């Protein structure tokens, strides 16, 4: 039977068209709700985090030995930086989670979160690429000199000779603004602990459930066999729902202690595509032929 070029039936269509799809929020019935307390400033030192005794607050101190998220890249010149699950010494971007509270309903969780007070000593943020790369600029991460994670150089053989023999150099600078995915469904997850097996099931609006399981298990220091990640219907992603995020780690951590927890977030808490600037130069021949092309791309990532 020929398969190449043959249309395949979409088995998911009847469920979605009849309104019977199940999203993360549909699985949250009866779950406790997590509410995060976030940084209102782009950069600063955390002085105090306080809450009334009756507020069940989760902070970095409560998490104990939970490891930070550390993106990996197999390059010897890559500077690996750590993203804490909850900020504990300083904040590096607006919306960074500092603490979380747990309650029976979304309204109760919101009320408890408003009782948490965070004192932050603001510092001058590094906002643009020019500011980040300027001499003497404040370091967003102490480990990243000149605010640079990778400084790589690639050159095609013979390009130097082509540039030297060029008739005229034409240079342009292209700037790409910040981009943000806007899916219809926010990020959300429901984590449920099964005391009979000691296993947590995380139902998350994610595009990469297998890597999400690996990342969460690594951060929490548990075997992957103790965590199952399910991606139900996902209301759009566009790359925004691919990374490992702190909120999902907290949901699994809390479920192992409080049975069932759910978290929802979007907007400033989601990943944004970084600003990119590319400086390009074209080297032209007197007859109009292109003899060389040089480019110096600079990519800015959101602070972690």
Q: What is the overall mean pLDDT for the chain?
A: 88
Which of 255, 190, 163, 248 shows the shortest CA–CA distance to 214? 248
- The model's pLDDT over 35-45, given as tens digits with 9 standing for 90+, comes to 999 999 999 99
Beta strands 290-299 and 227-230: pairing type? Answer: unpaired
User: What are the residue ranges spanned by the domains of the chain?
Assistant: 22-124+180-269
Strands (E), the chain: 32-38, 44-50, 57-58, 90-91, 97-103, 117-122, 168-176, 187-194, 199-204, 227-230, 260-265, 276-284, 290-299
Class of domain 22-124+180-269: alpha beta
Going by pLDDT thresholds of 50, 70 and 90, the confidence category of residue 202 is very high
Average of per-residue pLDDT across 50-63: 96
Alpha-carbon radius of gyration of the chain: 24
Q: For residues 189 and 265, is the Cβ–Cβ distance under 8 A?
A: no
pLDDT in tens, 289-298: 555 556 667 7
Residue 188 has pLDDT above 60, yes or no: yes
Contact 198, 259 (CB under 8 A): no
Sheet arrangement for strand 44-50: 90-91, 44-50, 117-122
């Amino acid at each position: 039977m020929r398969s190449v070029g043959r249309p395949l039936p979409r088995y998911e269509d009847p469920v979605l068209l009849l309104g019977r799809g199940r999203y993360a929020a549909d699985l949250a019935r009866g779950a406790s709700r997590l509410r995060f307390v976030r940084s209102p400033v782009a950069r600063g030192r955390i002085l105090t985090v306080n809450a009334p005794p009756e507020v069940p607050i989760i902070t970095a101190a409560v998490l104990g030995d939970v490891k930070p998220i550390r993106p990996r890249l197999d390059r010897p010149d890559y500077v690996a930086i750590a993203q804490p699950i909850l900020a504990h010494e300083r904040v590096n971007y607006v919306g960074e989670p500092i603490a979380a509270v747990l309650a029976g309903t979304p309204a109760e969780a919101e009320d408890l979160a408003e009782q948490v007070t965070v004192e932050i000593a603001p510092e001058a943020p590094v906002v643009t690429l020019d500011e980040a790369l300027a001499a003497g600029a404040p370091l967003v991460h102490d480990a990243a000199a000149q605010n640079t994670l990778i400084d790589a150089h690639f050159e095609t053989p013979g390009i130097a000779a082509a540039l030297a023999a060029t008739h005229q150099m034409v240079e342009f600078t292209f700037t790409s603004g910040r981009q943000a995915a806007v899916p219809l469904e926010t990020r959300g997850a429901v984590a449920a602990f099964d005391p009979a097996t000691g296993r947590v099931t995380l139902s998350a609006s994610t595009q990469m459930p297998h890597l999400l399981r690996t990342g969460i298990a690594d951060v929490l220091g548990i075997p992957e066999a103790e965590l199952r990640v399910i991606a139900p219907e996902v209301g759009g992603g566009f790359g925004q729902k691919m990374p490992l995020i702190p909120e999902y780690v907290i949901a699994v951590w809390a479920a192992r202690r409080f049975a069932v927890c759910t978290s929802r977030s979007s907007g400033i808490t989601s990943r944004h595509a970084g600003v990119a600037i590319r400086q390009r130069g074209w080297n032209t021949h007197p007859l109009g032929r292109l003899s060389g092309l040089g480019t110096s791309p600079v990519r800015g990532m959101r602070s972690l």
